[in-house]
Amino acid sequence: MKILLTGGAGFIGSHTATVLIEKGYEIVILDDFSNSKPGAVARLEQIVGREIALEHVDLCEKTAVEDVFSRHKIDCVLHFAGLKAVGESVEKPLLYYENNLVGTLNLLHVMADMGVKKFVFSSSATVYDSRNPVPFMEEHSIGPVNPYGWTKSMIEQILLDLSASDPEWAVTLLRYFNPIGAHPSGLIGEDPQGIPNNLVPYVAKVAAGQLATIHIWGDDYDTPDGTGVRDYIHVMDLARGHLLAVEYLKTHKGCKVFNLGTGKGYSVKEVISAYEKACGKSLPAQIDARRAGDLATVYANVDLAEKELGFTAELGIEQMCADSWNWQKKSLVFDE
Ligand code: UD1
């Protein structure tokens, strides 16, 4: 089975690639390198010990996408590619809607034309209406609050409608919670451009001495220690979730939604102290005002993924921080 990974040079795509190759799948990576580097694919090749087919293509260029499908006999697509910075999406909504929606529509058109109808979509817990009680369940209502979240939810709807129109489609919508950590080799990991928005990449840079102080966005939430609680999931567990989704699609048609998280929440302070343990030093942190749009507590109900996909997250917060730190230290020497 040959699998196309759009955005396969990125954080989640590259880790998923290692798991798929290890299981014997053939893969093709398609990426426009707008938020990733060809060097990541070279290091991925080092991990798996073989060459990987790589297509430098922007999904918004439909003829280039057609060309990829005409040259590779693709059986299934894992669609990671997309712009994902929440703040930027608020400032540049047209860019987000255009890139994420047009790219996905081109991809789906070409797939339909070529008769390729297995699809795994990288969705996000951000699609849930925040008024739902935690833990969030797949049947809970949708209510994104920013353009990034809307693109995810609109693409989910497109895929639901497409599957309803043609029973040959087999689709899974994977709603990720907070993916962190890195490959145990330390050769690939999350590599955000500029100052990170997300907690763990920020903490990693403070640990590495590249940023001065962690900013804790609020300690007056209604949580045990007052700081925000999230469901962090190790990216290698998440990668395995994609493998299970691919296997599920072999026997299940239609469109199915799954949460991918651990079902457990950790506070900002707990994450910082796990990271301090991983890097062996105490990290400077200060309390600042709440970040607009943040919720007190978000975690997943993971029963459905366990029951239908056989997925359970195995790696805990200590391993997530240890692998993040291992990658952070090593990545300082990658010059690309
Ligand atoms: C964020 C996005 C979400 C996206 C997800 C991807 C927002 C509002 N949400 O989720 O749409 O799908 O990333 O992983 O941006 N925090 C700090 N200091 C920091 C950074 C974060 O205290 O420097 C806190 C936050 O207030 C939150 C927790 O750490 O309580 C996690 O934040 P973050 O890593 O940005 O993830 P989310 O906000 O859950």
- Give the pLDDT confidence of 56-84 residue by residue, as tens digits: 999 999 999 999 999 999 999 999 999 99
Query: Whose CA is closest to 117, among 63, 159, 57?
Result: 159
* Assigned domain for 82 exists: yes
d(CA 331, CA 46): 15
Dihedral pair phi/psi, residue 167, rounded to 5°: -70, -5
Domain-located, residue 186: no
Q: Residue 334: inside a domain, yes or no?
A: no
The answer as to whether 196 is a domain residue is no
Residue 12 resides in a domain: yes
CA of 212 to the centre of ligand 1 (A): 19
pLDDT(336) > 70: no
Closest atom of ligand 1 to 86 CA is 15
Mean pLDDT value across residues 299-325: 98
Torsional sign, CA 304, 310, 315, 321: negative
Phi and psi of 193, rounded to 5°? -80, 140
Please give the pLDDT value at position 333: 76
The response to whether residue 99 sits with its C-beta less than 6 Å from ligand 1 reads no
Atom of ligand 1 nearest to the CA of 87: 15
| Spatial distance between the Cα atoms of 84 and 315, rounded to a whole number of angstroms | 25
Alpha helices by DSSP H, the chain: 11-22, 38-48, 62-71, 86-91, 93-97, 103-114, 147-165, 199-207, 235-249, 268-279, 303-304, 317-331
Q: Whose CA is nearest to atom 27 of ligand 1?
A: 228
Measure 294 CA to ligand 1 centroid, in angstroms. Answer: 7
- Report if residue 146 sits inside a domain: yes
- State pLDDT tens for residues 253-290: 999 999 999 999 999 999 999 999 999 999 999 999 99
Distance 200 CA to ligand 1 centre (A): 9
Is the CB of 223 within 6 Å of ligand 1?
no
Q: Which domain holds residue 108?
A: 2-180+232-261
- Please name which of 189, 177, 292 lies closest in space to residue 236, comparing C-alpha atoms: 189
pTM: 0.98
Query: Which position among 96, 128, 148, 299 bears the catalytic label?
Result: 148
**CATH number of domain containing 39:** 3.40.50.720
How far is C-alpha 104 from the geometric centre of its chain's CA atoms? 16
Q: Give mean pLDDT, residues 19-35.
A: 98
Using a 6 Å cutoff on CB, does residue 199 contact ligand 1?
Answer: yes
In this structure, what are the phi and psi dihedrals at residue 209, rounded to the nearest 5 degrees?
Answer: 80, 10
Ligand 1 neighbour 225 (Cβ under 6 A): no
Ligand 1 contact, 293 CB (< 6 A): yes
Task: Give me the torsion for CA of 199, 200, 202, 207, rounded to 10°.
Answer: 140
Q: Is residue 52 part of a domain?
A: yes
**CA 229 to ligand 1 center in whole angstroms:** 10
**Max CA pair span of the chain:** 56
Q: How far is the CA of 195 from the centre of ligand 1 (A)?
A: 13
Tally of structural domains, the chain: 1
- Residue 82 Cβ contacting ligand 1 at under 6 Å: no
- Give me the pLDDT at residue 335, please: 60
Residue 130: what pLDDT?
96
Ligand 1: which of 217, 232, 260 to mutate, judged by most atoms within 8 Å of the beta carbon? Answer: 217
**Within 10 Å of residue 197's Cβ, how many Cβ atoms?**
14
Give me Rg for the CA atoms of the chain. Answer: 19
Crossing angle of helices 62-71 and 103-114, rounded to 10°:
40
CB distance 272 to ligand 1 below 6 Å: no
68 belongs to a structural domain: yes
148 an active-site residue? yes
Alpha helices in 3-79 (DSSP H): 11-22, 38-48, 62-71
Asked if residue 197 has its Cβ within 6 Å of ligand 1, the reply is: yes
Do residues 170 and 253 touch, judged by C-beta distance below 8 A? yes
Which residue shows structure tokens 């599957």? 163
